[in-house]
Each structure stands twice: as structure tokens, then as C-alpha cells.
A = this chain, B = another copy of it.
Amino acid sequence: MDRIDRNAPIGVFDSGVGGLTVAREIIRQMPDERLVYFGDTARLPYGSKSRATVIRYSQQIIRFLKTRKVKAIVVACNTASAYALEAVERDSDIPVIGVIRAGARTAVHATQNGKIGIIGTVGTISSGIYTEVMKQLKPDIEVTGKACPLLVPLVEEGLLHDSVTDEIASRYLSELKGRYIDTLVLGCTHYPLPRSTIRRLMGEDVTLVNPAYETAMELKQLLAGSSLTCDPGLPEDGKYQFFVSDLAEKFTSFATSILPEEVKETRQINIEEF
């Protein structure tokens, strides 16, 4: 790996804005690092699309991120991590990490009673990947996955504190409550946003795992272990760069509300060309 420039940016991608929760953790935990973010806003959502399509989209995005000379790539989307991580890791000469391994490991360490729940998109849950990774770590664990397809549109409509979101979330979570889980993985980057609703419905005794935090930790260790941590004090200019495939202005204002500093510019590209 010695030909990788350690002062190059980290590439982060998602189907849209959700991965900004992962970018935020990276910025918090590694304030010296540079970052290139891509959100595939022209083709979102990924959660209801097929494995083959999500792999193809992820491969295009990785080709784009490589044109930005990134030193490592974070697949900050649970669905893309579930479906495409293996395929893109295989093709890549730089480190690629997803959000699932870190979240699964934390949940396995956190559980006391061995019963873990996961909520995510149809794609993430039907892939069975969280269960697979958790069972590799601890074979006798009991894992229950529940797809929550309406949570993302409800969050995107701003209905975070609303009786309708309460009702829908309550229906989704009732099955998990019936299984007496003590740990719940928020397996979609949007779900930290309605966290307080999920917390109230699940009760104080259930540990909520947010893979964004754990993924940033894993990335930090990976960079340190590969001598890819950047030098401190790099120029601030162009430190964080944002690209989308559609609706750049809308992204800019959303990103500003999520990240610790103002996002000045988002550039739009045609991802189909990559």
C-alpha cells in the first residue's frame, strides 16, 4: 500500500444524504482528514432495488471516487454495504469498508441476553448479511431483522415527531419487542434521525447501536494500521468536497444542517458516465 498517498482524501458514498451521518462521525473523530462525499440523488433510494443494480451503481461510484484520488472508500449506505461490499472490495486496490461489520461487532459485544434486532431497508434485511456476520462472531446469537420501508420517506418528509411516524414505527418494532431483544442495530443511515421515537418505543433497557460511529472508529484504526493517517495541518481549502448526481442545492442545505460546518458548494455530476 505504500504507493497510496496518505494525504489523499477519504471517499464516502451513499444513495443520498443518509451517509452524511457517517461523514459527520469521520469529521469528528479525524478532524485532520480530507473527505470526498458522493450522494446518488438521481437514482435513490437503493433500499428497494435489486442486488445486481446496487452493485452496478456502487461500482460506478467507486470509479468516480477514484478519479478524485481517494486513499480509502467508506460505503456509508447499509444497502450498498449489504449487497455490493464484497464485489467492490474484490475490484479495489485501496481499502474499502462498509457500515455493517462495525455495527454487527458492536451489537454482538453489547448484548447480554444474546438476542439482537436489526432494522433496515428491504435490501439490507433480505440480504441476511447482519445475521451472517453476527453468527460468525458468536454462533449461538439470535438475530431478528425487520425491514422498515416507510421510515425513510417519513423522515424525509420531516415527520420526525409525528403521530403517524409513531404509529408506523410501533408496528415495525412490535415484532422485535416480542422477541425480547436487548440490542437494536439502526441498520439504515436515516434511522439515527428518529432515534428518540425508537428509544421511547423500545424502552430504556434496549441498547441502540448506530453503525456510523463504529464505522468511523474502524476507519481510524484501518488508516493508522496501514500508515495512511494524514499529516496534521493540511490546507483547509477544499478539505471537504461534495458531489451528487441530482439536486445539488437541496443537498447543500441538508448537509449544512447535519455537518459541523457550513457546506459551501455541492457539484453535480452524471454518474452514468463512470
Q: Which residues of A contact B (CB under 8 A)?
A: 41-43, 49-50, 52-53, 56, 149-150, 153-154, 156-157, 163-164, 167-168, 245-247, 270, 272
Docked Cα-Cα span, A124 to B272, in Å, equals: 25
Q: What residues on B are CB-neighbors of A246 within 8 Å?
A: 49-50, 52-53
In the assembled complex, which residues on chain B have CB atoms less than 8 Å from the CB atom of A56? 270
* Minimum CB distance partner of A168 in chain B: B164
The copy count of this chain in the complex is 2
Q: CA separation between A175 and B53, bound complex, in Å?
A: 39
Measured CB to CB, the closest approach of chain B to A249, in angstroms, equals 10
Q: How far is the CA of A270 from the CA of B56 in the complex (A)?
A: 10
Chain B nearest CB from A117 CB (Å) reads 20
Min CB–CB distance A149 → chain B (angstroms): 6
Residue of chain B at shortest CB distance from A273? B272
- Inter-chain CA distance A272–B60, complex, in Å, is 12
> In the complex, what's the smallest C-beta–C-beta distance from A128 to chain B, in angstroms?
18
- Closest partner residue, chain B, to A57 (CB atom): B42
Alpha-carbon separation in the docked complex, A42 to B157 (Å): 22
Which chain B residue lies CB-closest to A270? B56
Q: How far does the alpha carbon of A245 sit from the alpha carbon of B272 in the complex, in Å?
A: 14
Q: Which residues from chain B contact A153 at a C-beta distance below 8 Å?
A: 149-150, 153
- In this complex, the member of A50, A163, A247 whose beta carbon has the largest number of chain B beta carbons within 10 angstroms is A50
Sample 25 A-B pairs with CB under 8 A, ordered by A number.
A41-B49, A42-B43, A42-B49, A42-B53, A43-B43, A49-B246, A49-B247, A50-B246, A50-B247, A52-B246, A53-B245, A53-B246, A53-B247, A56-B270, A149-B156, A149-B157, A150-B153, A150-B154, A150-B157, A153-B153, A163-B167, A164-B164, A164-B167, A164-B168, A272-B272
Q: How far is the CA of A218 from the CA of B245 in the complex (A)?
A: 35
Return the chain B residue nearest A56 by Cβ: B270
Report the bound CA distance from A172 to B2 in whole Å: 58
Chain B nearest Cβ from A269, distance in angstroms: 12
- How far, in whole Å, are A149 and B150 apart by their CA atoms in the complex? 12
Q: In the complex, what residues of B have CB within 8 A of residue A41's CB?
A: 49
Q: Complex formed: what's the CA distance from A41 to B56 in Å?
A: 14
Instruction: List residues of chain B with CB within 8 A of the CB of A149.
Output: 153, 156-157
State A157–B52 Cα separation when bound (angstroms). 22
